[in-house]
Chains A and B, each alone.
Chain A
């Protein structure tokens, strides 16, 4: 099955495995972003400004801030973010891995594992988001 993945482009993959991507705006509250990710069974969300992707959020990073009060130990950074209501723009990583529709899926798999990203965003030639490659789907397909 791995050979079939090598031959398949990301664009073909998206047609066969359309996973819903979670896009939020810069002012979205952290809790809202978490809810959206849960609704879509996603582990990653992307912060957009119009058609442009500005940053990436991982589920665990969000939970680290949302559930700060449930943790007995805080870093100074967590202390400040707990007091000053923060939005997704305050904690997003402006550098995120992405792929293009014409890339091969096997090349994308390495990027997902290296950066610990489950839902890798696919950007079109004009850098607008066109979908996500979900790691669990790739693994499921390759193990069949």
Chain B
């Protein structure tokens, strides 16, 4: 993390993409480089750190939207989000399953990559929209979609974990109902408790400890009650804000300051898990995953936009704007390492997601700019 922090200064000075340098900082300590020389290995502690960091992100995403705002988003954003998420997931699943057919764990690997393909990186898209001062139907839809698909991505991933860690098909449905229903119930109760505390705590210095305690306690209770930890954290954020009935400044703002730390943790840890041998063996998989994800997002968003008769610019160019992939996908991939089901394939998934993230983060801004230009929404080019 210290290396990552130092590298972020270099990134800021030379205006380089900071996430690439975070990953590079982790990579230096990977077993193939200094980690191997010094005998350092990311230990079990990294699983707890990843779990806590993911819980923070899920809490923030859950608390970022209210039911009233969801209603205001409109059909175009909701349908297009659904379309690009399902398009990417289905395309990646089919293509990867076909590519790996005959290999053990092919379906599991294809499913994992499919759900990880759902989320995008809002930061890259927002930066391009800001740089070119774009404005119009495509810009608005794009902002809505990149905000929403992280919500859908986390829900999909949680459902996937329930399915993949189920012991038998007969147990899957029972355990799914318990894990999902229990998570929503636990999140709602904890959210109410957090809002109750939020109404009573007056000293601003206690806001951060109060929220962190609630998140960590919810994770512990979720583990004891066999509930989905990510859904619990998301429900906690959503219900806390809904019960608090305001912008949720005191419940969300203190944790928002930690978001950059969370991404620093994700990328450096992912870099530290870099394995040249694994990546070499899975290089074709990286290429296939990148192509399938991009095509799935484009086709899915196009079909969804056609279905609801969205403006032609949205139909034609939305897919170009949802290409970036970043922190959340990395964090979710890292969390798979702690599940015994992914003992054999976890490292490959992390390496594929890390490599593809770097590629997609490079392509993404150019594709977004192309889409906004073709849609005629760039008014004031710098």
Contacts and interface: CB of A to CB of B under 8 A. Distances in A.
Most buried by B among A61, A73, A85: A73
B204 interface: yes
A84 interface: yes
A95 B202 contact: yes
Contacts of B60: 75-77
Contacts of A49: none
A86 B130 contact: no
Contact-size category for A: 20 to 34
Contacts of B150: 76
Contact of A95 (B140, B144, B199): B199
A23 B10 CA distance: 47
B64 A79 contact: yes
Interface string A80-104: 1111111000111111000000000
A72 B247 CA distance: 21
Interface of B: 60-61, 63-66, 68-69, 72-73, 77, 122-123, 126-127, 130-131, 140, 143-144, 146-147, 150, 199, 202-204, 244-250, 252, 256, 259
A70 to B, nearest CB: 8
A80 B65 contact: yes
B259 A90 contact: no
- Determine the main DSSP class of B at the interface with A: helix
Contacts of B244: 94
A73 B72 CA distance: 23
A40 interface: no
A90 B126 contact: no
B127 A72 contact: yes
Interface of A: 55, 61, 69-77, 79-86, 90-95, 114-116
Nearest to A78: B64
25 contacts: A55-B246, A61-B247, A69-B130, A70-B130, A72-B126, A73-B123, A73-B126, A76-B60, A76-B64, A76-B150, A77-B60, A77-B247, A77-B256, A79-B144, A81-B69, A83-B69, A83-B72, A83-B147, A84-B72, A90-B68, A91-B249, A93-B247, A93-B250, A94-B246, A114-B204
B199 A90 contact: no
Most B-side CB within 10 Å, residue of A61, A74, A90, A116: A74
Contact of B122 (A71, A76, A93, A94): A76
Given A73-B126, A75-B64, A92-B246, A86 B131 contact: no
Contacts of A115: 204
Nearest to B77: A83
A112 to B, nearest CB: 13
A90 B143 contact: no
Most chain A Cβ neighbours within 10 Å, of B72, B126, B127? B126
A116 to B, nearest CB: 8
